[in-house]
Amino acid sequence: MSDDFAPYAIVADDDALVRMDAADILEDAGFRTHEACHVEDAIKILEAAGESVQLLFSDVQMPPSTRNGFDLAKECAARWPHIGILIASGQAKPGPDDLPNGARFIQKPFSADVVHQHLQDILPDGKKPKPLKKRAL
């Protein structure tokens, strides 16, 4: 698939290193990525490009915002229901009403294999990620 036609993903995380790592994993899976450091940035990107975005990958806690990744996931699901949602955290765990239907949660630190498996589960047929590249040791 040409990069001109690669699907878009938004990576929202306040930690630049985690954000870059997640973006690299998603790019290896065939996505073009937009990066956001807090909820408000992610919403702006969604408002500008939401129809072309296929995946939201978000951290839960993103200070200094008063909203968190669960709030972002709920707004995304309500306004852009075609977008797959993957939420990650090393501290917070979702409660019974924190994730919208179809969204998935993964624990940090995460691996490319874990992210890829969840992408296989949440993305519809025809939008599945490219197979993982074998990484040199």
pLDDT at 4: 58
Three-state SS string across the chain, please?
A: CCHHHCCEEEEECCCHHHHHHHHHHHHHCCCEEEEECCHHHHHHHHHHHHHHEEEEEEECCCCCCCCCHHHHHHHHHHHCCCCEEEEEECCCCCCCCCCCCCCEEEECCCCHHHHHHHHHHHCCCCCCCCCCCCCCC
- List the CATH code of the domain at 3-122: 3.40.50.2300
Task: Tell me the pTM.
Answer: 0.91
* Ranges of each domain in the chain: 3-122
pLDDT tens profile 55-95: 999 999 998 889 999 999 999 999 999 999 999 999 989 99
What average pLDDT score do residues 18-43 get?
95
